[in-house]
Chain A
Amino acid sequence: GENVEQHPSTLSVQEGDSAVIKCTYSDSASNYFPWYKQELGKGPQLIIDIRSNVGEKKDQRIAVTLNKTAKHFSLHITETQPEDSAVYFCAVPSSTGFQKLVFGTGTRLLVSP
């Protein structure tokens, strides 16, 4: 089955700095790469995703880059704000299950004012 590694597990930045979270995956056939943000006491919220036919996708302060050769993808948050503080999960479709997502272990991002 798919194996997803996510780093770092925690990330502390000052407001206005950039934050980068990286995930590596094992199945070279994977073609869909979402990122979720989970605030305390809430469900995961899909914030951005990318498919394997593009290398980068941006949505305002958030971007995702994909390197299919190296089998990794990254979440980039620029001009961080305190409300960006949350746990971020990457995910990859499982090669063994219909519509099954395998999640990374999560990154706790803390943005200090």
Chain B
Amino acid sequence: DTEVTQTPKHLVMGMTNKKSLKCEQHMGHRAMYWYKQKAKKPPELMFVYSYEKLSINESVPSRFSPECPNSSLLNLHLHALQPEDSALYLCASSQVASGSFYEQYFGPGTRLTVT
């Protein structure tokens, strides 16, 4: 099973709201990722967690706050977003080992609209 699940599927929020995106995988993967994808563009990496520790932050604004409570779950907390943050937010997971690159499996995404 190579399934990554994400909730909610769609989210509309105002610029003063606080919301969270959730991601879950049960493949035993120890690396989890958040990507942002704008329309007609490729996914752009935001954060990488490895063994529940943040290993990459691609200079993402602090209004996006990731959290990895355990090896199966990944959250993205949203606060004071701007309309330009509207996008498809994708979660992915993979195995991880030093010196090797492993396949990344993506979830279906959360379509976020900021009004």
User: Which residues of A does B touch, CB under 8 Å?
Assistant: 31-32, 34, 36, 41-46, 49, 89, 93, 97-101, 103-106
Q: Which A residues are in CB contact (< 8 Å) with B6? A: 43
List the 8 closest pairs (A to B, CB-CB), nearest first.
A103-B42, A43-B106, A32-B101, A43-B108, A44-B106, A43-B109, A93-B101, A43-B107
Evaluate contact between A98 and B55: CB separation under 8 angstroms: yes
Task: Tell me whether B96 is interfacial, beta carbon within 8 Å.
Answer: yes
Known: A31-B101, A98-B56. A42 touches B42 (CB 8 A): no
User: Which residues of B does A touch, CB under 8 Å?
Assistant: 2, 4, 6, 31, 33, 40-45, 48, 50, 55-56, 90, 94, 96, 101-109, 111
Closest CB of chain B to A48's CB: distance in Å? 10
Q: Is the interface of A mostly helix, strand, loop or mixed?
A: loop
Q: Which A residues are in CB contact (< 8 Å) with B40? A: 106
* Partner among B42, B96, B103, B107 whose Cβ is within 8 Å of the Cβ of A49: B103
Q: Which A residues are in CB contact (< 8 Å) with B103? A: 34, 46, 49
Known: A100-B45, A106-B42. A43 touches B101 (CB 8 A): no
Bound state CA distance, A36 and B100, in angstroms? 19
Complex A-B: 6 CB contacts under 8 Å = A31-B101, A34-B103, A42-B109, A98-B48, A103-B42, A106-B41
Evaluate contact between A99 and B96: CB separation under 8 angstroms: yes
Bound state CA distance, A20 and B60, in angstroms? 35
